[in-house]
Chains A and B, each alone.
Chain A
């Protein structure tokens, strides 16, 4: 396993574009901390985001994993190109001729994806911990370390998303087109979701079905955290709306994403087995 990771590391780290994107991604992740600096000062009306409770434990786990999850697109580019470039440079052929088995080849990519997801999770954990310790109103250990399932959900979310990238790169073999295909599919799923939502306004049948589709499944893992904020809730109750909903991480949400990940990896492997290079 270490050997395969080492091989993949040499390939990635010597590629300038990948290196820049990876660094940019982690810098962006750290920039979550900058949110704490958001301050509006309109004389009488003072607004300091960090004071609104977004950095309170355990809410911070939810908020930060959600925001960090939005940045995964940067790593997607790295992952799609690390697969597609092997096709365009024909190095996949050379790797196999040099004695890597097809299984090892896929595994080296999967391990890399896992490492990316894992490091991101650790990163988000540390940043959130530090931010929380600075700004949180509660710093008791049992509160700090509650709701950590958001980190697990974050890890699964990244892993599933990157597996999708892996498969798309394998299937389409050209980075730009592979990323394009993901975007087109995303648009298709997103638009069709809202169209059907419009048709079946009174039932939750659309959600029932769409929770099994890849992007909705990824989205469901970490629900949008904004409406959990005290300030937003107050505003809503003034407007006479009840925004409270089920924002917990559910086992079946994790299972659906893991199911998709397994399918993506399996079909990537099958593509490699069946294809003549």
Chain B
């Protein structure tokens, strides 16, 4: 697969504070990536460096295999960072015209993209009159003007109301479905879980994990069980070769798996041992649980 962005050993120090620490990862074409981390974990700084607005301390990054200069590469990238930045005294249409000039794109794209984000009716209003949700949507339209190879979004739903969040997510999903590579930085786990296929987890500027969302923890999942004769069940679980540990909570017994085991096979084994349980659910940890586990352990 084609590499869009490669980051090697990137480090950024603000005085004594190391915001990004020896970070490396690669963005390949066609995936939806999430950069996940608590506030202040270096997400925006990393994006800022690759977008030519923050100076790196050491390390390097390459756009499109390093074949073109950063600012030329950025013409093929669409990005919005933190909050939408436009000229407040200009209308949406004129602001986008300016972006077209910078990126070298034809004006005909403007109406198409404004339609996509649902701002056609307000295109002649000044940017300063827009609500935050509209500003954010205009920023997305602006980032899409050049039909970018990759769309970079930094906290795109930050500060929006539920409706606004929903609108933005719908737009992101639609763009992703068209095969555009997306890099989404967020501290909202469900957002990343809903949208992304790959994830990079950061904490204090260090990479904790990078890879597919569903492989984030090499866990085989767990069973939630309920049985009247608890001691008997616990005894069985303790002797079971595939069960790593059990936890009792809220009337349910949670049994974590060491090796893969299907729910039907497990049920069969229980019946063979004369245990007829009243509740059996097989689950995997949610991203939130995985994330907390990752950031706690390190």
User: Interface on A for B, CB 8 Å cutoff?
Assistant: 3, 6-7, 10-11, 14-16, 89-91, 93-102, 104, 273-277
Contacts of B281 in A (CB 8 A): none
Are A100 and B102 in contact (CB-based, < 8 A)? yes
Contacts of B142 in A (CB 8 A): 98
Are B102 and A274 in contact (CB-based, < 8 A)? no
Closest B residue to A7 using CB positions: B101
CA–CA, A274 to B86, complex, Å? 23
Subset of 18 A-B contacts with CB under 8 Å: A7-B98, A10-B90, A11-B87, A11-B98, A14-B87, A15-B90, A89-B87, A90-B83, A93-B81, A93-B85, A97-B51, A97-B80, A98-B99, A98-B103, A99-B102, A101-B71, A102-B52, A276-B48
B54 contacts which of A10, A11, A95, A276 (Cβ < 8 Å)? A276
A-B pair number, CB within 8 angstroms: 81
CA–CA, A253 to B50, complex, Å? 44
Contacts of A94 in B (CB 8 A): 85-86
B94 contacts which of A14, A89, A104 (Cβ < 8 Å)? A14
Are B87 and A91 in contact (CB-based, < 8 A)? yes
Are A101 and B55 in contact (CB-based, < 8 A)? no
Are B102 and A98 in contact (CB-based, < 8 A)? yes
Contacts of B80 in A (CB 8 A): 97
* Residues 258 to 277 of chain B near chain A (Cβ within 8 Å): none
Contacts of B172 in A (CB 8 A): none
CA–CA, A101 to B48, complex, Å? 14
Are A99 and B53 in contact (CB-based, < 8 A)? no
Knowing A97-B81, A98-B74, A99-B74, the reply to whether A277 touches B103 (Cβ < 8 A) is: no
Check: B79 CB closer than 8 A to any chain A CB.
yes
Contacts of B54 in A (CB 8 A): 276-277
Are B81 and A10 in contact (CB-based, < 8 A)? no
Are B88 and A89 in contact (CB-based, < 8 A)? yes
Are B71 and A100 in contact (CB-based, < 8 A)? yes
Are B53 and A96 in contact (CB-based, < 8 A)? yes
B290 to chain A, nearest CB (A): 32
Proximity bits, B121-155, A CB within 8 Å = 1, else 0: 00000000000000000000010000000000000
CA–CA, A11 to B90, complex, Å? 8
Check: B75 CB closer than 8 A to any chain A CB.
yes
Interface size class of B (residues with CB under 8 A): 20 to 34
User: Interface on B for A, CB 8 Å cutoff?
Assistant: 14, 48, 51-55, 69-72, 74-75, 77, 79-81, 83, 85-90, 94, 97-99, 101-104, 142
A83 to chain B, nearest CB (A): 14
CA–CA, A100 to B52, complex, Å? 10
CA–CA, A274 to B53, complex, Å? 10
B89 contacts which of A16, A101, A274 (Cβ < 8 Å)? A16
CA–CA, A6 to B75, complex, Å? 18
Contacts of A95 in B (CB 8 A): 102
CA–CA, A100 to B71, complex, Å? 6
Closest B residue to A274 using CB positions: B55
CA–CA, A7 to B98, complex, Å? 6
CA–CA, A42 to B127, complex, Å? 59
Contacts of A100 in B (CB 8 A): 71, 102
Are A6 and B86 in contact (CB-based, < 8 A)? no
CA–CA, A7 to B53, complex, Å? 19
Are A15 and B81 in contact (CB-based, < 8 A)? no
Are A3 and B74 in contact (CB-based, < 8 A)? no
Q: Which of B14, B97, B98 gathers the greatest number of chain A CB atoms within 10 Å? A: B98
Knowing A10-B98, A95-B102, A98-B74, the reply to whether A90 touches B48 (Cβ < 8 A) is: no
Contacts of A273 in B (CB 8 A): 55
Are B72 and A99 in contact (CB-based, < 8 A)? yes
B136 to chain A, nearest CB (A): 13
B92 to chain A, nearest CB (A): 12
Are B69 and A7 in contact (CB-based, < 8 A)? no
CA–CA, A97 to B71, complex, Å? 8
CA–CA, A14 to B55, complex, Å? 32
Are A7 and B102 in contact (CB-based, < 8 A)? yes
Knowing A93-B53, A99-B71, A276-B48, the reply to whether A10 touches B97 (Cβ < 8 A) is: yes
CA–CA, A96 to B90, complex, Å? 19
Closest A residue to B90 using CB positions: A14
Are B48 and A89 in contact (CB-based, < 8 A)? no
A10 contacts which of B51, B69, B70, B101 (Cβ < 8 Å)? B101
B103 to chain A, nearest CB (A): 5
